[in-house]
Chains A and B, each alone.
Chain A
Amino acid sequence: VMTQSPATLSVSPGERATLSCRASQYISNNLAWYQQKPGQAPRLLIYGASTRATGVPPRFSGSGSGTDFTLTISSLQSEDFAVYHCQQYANWPPWTFGQGTKVEVK
């Protein structure tokens, strides 16, 4: 089971956002992050816990290993307000996701 916190994060533009994801069992670094905007499909941001996908700006960074992971957005831009999902791929099937963290404008 993947658990994300908080459910909603209120942040002002330009500020740092820190999102957490916890796995119920050890998953090494087999963790991905996705961004999803309303009415759109998810977009892969990070895999391997810390590797940015192609085209992802460096303000997005991932860290962690084992069971605890963090996605940090260093300086929030207007286009970053969205829902963020974490996903484990250590133990499949099934591939499992957290319930999502919504980053909203403070």
Chain B
Amino acid sequence: QVQLVESGGGVVQPGRSLRLSCAASGFIFGKYDMHWLRQARGKGLEWVAVIWHDESTQYYADSVKGRFTISRDNSNNTLYLHMSRLRVDDTAVYFCARDFFPRVFDSWGQGTLVTVSS
């Protein structure tokens, strides 16, 4: 079955960097576009970034543009989110999710918590 497992979260100081990973299994990873989304405690869901299956295109939310980079390694079935210049308001649970036609999110990881605090 489809499985997505995030890792790499933790506590980091404002201005520092962190890289999240999402290990995929149970499907042909290289055929799917993949997303990162996040959810601050007690808040709604916020889409963060997407990368096309062939790495040809990436889009970002305005709130992270220029600071976050999404990438993938199709040979190792892994999605990444490199986060730099982190801010306190980046504190959230970060989920990776698989894109499903027609552009909804049909499989999600369990999430990894990122806390930005001094």
Residues of B within 8 A of A32 (CB): 104-105
Per-position 1/0 for A42-68, Cβ under 8 A of B? 111001100001000000000000000
**A87 adjacent to B104 (CB under 8 Å):** yes
User: Does any Cβ of A come within 8 Å of B59's Cβ?
Assistant: yes
Q: Inside 8 A of A43's CB, which chain B residues have their CB?
A: 108
Which of B62, B103, B110 makes the CB contact (< 8 A) with A95?
A: B103
Which residues of A from 87 to 106 have beta carbons under 8 Å from B?
87, 89, 92-100
A contacts with B: majority SS: loop
The prevalent SS among residues of B at the interface is strand
CB-defined contacts of B103 to chain A, threshold 8 Å: 30, 89, 92, 95
Q: Count contacts between A and B, CB distance < 8 Å.
A: 59
For the complex, what is the distance from the CA of A32 to the CA of B26, rounded to whole Å?
Answer: 24
Do A89 and B95 have beta carbons less than 8 Å apart?
Answer: no
Which among B44, B100, B108 is the interface contact of A41 at CB below 8 angstroms?
B108
Judge whether B46 and A44 touch: CB under 8 Å: no
| Bound CA–CA A47/B101 (angstroms) | 10
Tell me the bound Cα distance from A31 to B100 in angstroms: 13
* Residue in B62, B95, B102 whose Cβ sees the most chain A Cβ within 10 Å: B102
**Can you offer 5 A-B residue contacts whose CB atoms are under 8 A?**
A30-B103, A32-B104, A42-B95, A93-B59, A94-B47
